Amino acid sequence: MPHVIVKLYPGRSEEQKIQLTEEIVKDVVAIAKCEEKSVSVAIEEIKPEAWADDVYRPDILSNFEKLYKKPGYNPFK
């Protein structure tokens, strides 16, 4: 606890993904007041053509009330 999943389009380098992970872990530890050993981060690359059905619909639309940062786009409009 906590576990963070980042879903994004492919194309970032391994170095970018490592840097993103390190920054997420640093912020989670500082803000959530937990130990680094309890934090895990996964990065899932989703193809752009699959984003609406594989991410937007199940993770965003179906959980809209749980989002602390809502997106400024809707691929279904």
Would you name the residues annotated as active-site residues?
2
Q: Encode burial over 21-34: b for 16+ CB neighbours within 10 A, e otherwise.
A: beebeeebbeeeee
CA 62 from chain centre, in angstroms, equals 16
Residue 75: name the closest of 65, 59, 57 by CA: 57
